[in-house]
Structure 1
Amino acid sequence: MKKVLQLGSWLAIAGLAWGAGYLYNARYGGELSWLRMMYERKMAFASEVQAPHRLLITGGSGAHYTINSKVIQEGLGIPVMNLGLDGPVGLDVILPSILPQVHKGDVVLLVPEYLILWADDGLGDRSGQFGIAIGRPGLGNIPPKRFAQDMLMLGNPTLRAVTKSTIDLVEKGKFTGYYSDPVDERGDPTVTKYRTSAKWWELPINKPASKHAIARIAKFKQEVEARGGTLILSLPWVYARRDEKSINNVKKTAQELAKIAPTIY
């Protein structure tokens, strides 16, 4: 009986420790928490915009930080929403996470970063934990073993993250993160992040998009059209190295994407 009570006590302590870690990581303080809040704000703003036609732009952080929805909206004359998220969330989770916002008459512009397109399984470092954080555990068909690992780690803040948060709290009086700045009513960031000490670098495109990424985007087109929308695609070229190998891989990727939907690059 004593051993049972001791085991129960240890389980209770472990549960409390996991819960505290979860609150930090997913609710307030950790990087995932800021991403969750940004996602929820974007979805809330998008649900408030009712119009016969809208342009919904999505992708990773590249889409989030480089899209100027106000300028595009002024040029097109229809509402434009920036639904860009975070590359490590992965293509297989980003796409279904924004799909509920697609309405009849909408145009969806997907701007997938190359690192997203290279993933052979459509998943990234934050795929499983992001789904849990937004209340949709398993989103993107996360394998059970990986899901269990992500669930466990969600209650385990890293030393680096806790150290950063502690310094922020001391120096700024609050927690901050890469996505902690608010977004405006179009989903655009309200703070411009400038390059500081890091030097500019060009991304070598060593391979075209994975077969999985192409297949998932093709499926996404069907899902968008089933909701009455239209899908168009775009490739970011500005970051790519201009050597022959990179150019050829960009062209191969663009050719595959163009078979699915109109592609801008």
Structure 2
Amino acid sequence: MNEQKSKTIRTLIPWFLATGVAWSLGFFYNVYYGGELSWLRRMYFQKIAIAESVTETPRLLIVGGSGAHYTIDSDLIEQELGIPVINLGLDGPIGLDVILPSVIDRVKPGDIVLLIPEYLLLLDNDGLGDRSTSFGVAIGRPGLGGIPVKQFLQEVIALGIPSLRAVAKSGVDAATQGEFTGYYSDPVSDKGDPTVVKERQQDWWKLPIKNSISQHSFERILQFNEEVEAKGGKLVLSLPWVYGSDTKRTLKNVEITADYLSKIAPTIYDRESLNIQDNVSYFADTHYHLMPEGRKVRAEQLVTELKPIIKSGNDN
């Protein structure tokens, strides 16, 4: 009987080894080179390096998902405000509970942290998204955001299994361009802004905002305000620009969200439009991402709204 068990084990060992090698290759592809997560990981570290290299304070740190990353003209804002501007915007599916702790350590005394959360983040009920677990693992901080153990283990296992679609795309990239590419593989500027414009190929529709800010998001941003203040910084919140619906329901939900955010920290937005835009030419490939001209107009609005806050801080 023991001999039979030993034979069975010897038979299975090559399969275990092959499975381990295959998973390791898939993990390397997803996290380090080729998969979309790998590009997001690289972009994050590029932005963190920029934040670490700028020692002059005060600084304006812009935080959020891609609705921050793809909507800012940092050069224009820096020129108008006269302080360094760093775009730390990442990706909405990382989730609010992971985005915020991933940047808090870069806040220095005197910094102004401008959080621009898109409604994907504001309306979420648990602060976690599709990339929460994988992003934490990719940046060397597994479990960041308090991800439940079962969810964490399931999603870590999945990191070693690239999707067929991703592998097929990488194969085409390798054959036609000689390298892998992805949505976030384009370089960022020396202030963390995107350098490539992505344009929409599908038809547009005005995005409805079906709910107001969730209790979880309110509490997590409230906690973030405390964390920023403990670092000696000041948190400012902004409603995102969105190509959105102007129905009564949408407007009411945005108004409620703005009211709740203003209980946490100074909240900036256009009181008439509520930052809901109807000029589709400003928008790039999503209802949040902006074309270069849209980024300039958005930057000018932010400058106007931020100047009194910065002046007030300097007077104190």
Shorter-chain TM-score tier = over 0.9
Which residue in the other structure is 2:117 paired with?
112
Which residue in the other structure is 1:90 paired with?
95
| Count of aligned residue pairs for this structure pair | 264
| Distance of 2:244 and 2:105 partners within structure 1 | 32
| Distance of 2:225 and 2:243 partners within structure 1 | 26
Q: How far did residue 239 of structure 1 move?
A: 2.2
Give the CA RMSD over aligned residues.
1.0
Which residue among 236, 253, 260 is the counterpart of 1:256?
260
Cα deviations by residue, 1:150-174 (Å, 9 ceiling, x for unpaired): 1000000001111111112222221
| Distance of 1:6 and 1:99 partners within structure 2 | 50
Which residue among 14, 21, 25 is the counterpart of 2:26?
21
| Distance of 1:9 and 1:173 partners within structure 2 | 33
| Distance of 2:82 and 2:26 partners within structure 1 | 45
The one-letter code of the counterpart of 2:235 is: L
Which residue in the other structure is 2:289 paired with?
none
| Distance of 2:46 and 2:138 partners within structure 1 | 14
SS in 2 for 1:203: coil
Q: How far did residue 116 of structure 1 move?
A: 1.1
Alignment of 1:1-265 (within 5 A): 1-195=6-200, 197-265=201-269
| Distance of 2:184 and 2:162 partners within structure 1 | 17
| Distance of 1:7 and 1:216 partners within structure 2 | 48
**Larger-gyration structure (1/2):** 2
The one-letter code of the counterpart of 2:127 is: G
Query: TM-score, normalization: structure 2?
Result: 0.82
The one-letter code of the counterpart of 2:217 is: A
Identity in percent? 59
| Distance of 1:199 and 1:152 partners within structure 2 | 37
Cα deviations by residue, 1:70-109 (Å, 9 ceiling, x for unpaired): 1100011000000000000000000000111101110100
SS in 1 for 2:235: strand
Is there any run of 5+ residues in structure 2 with no aligned partner, and where? 1-5, 270-316
SS in 1 for 2:184: coil
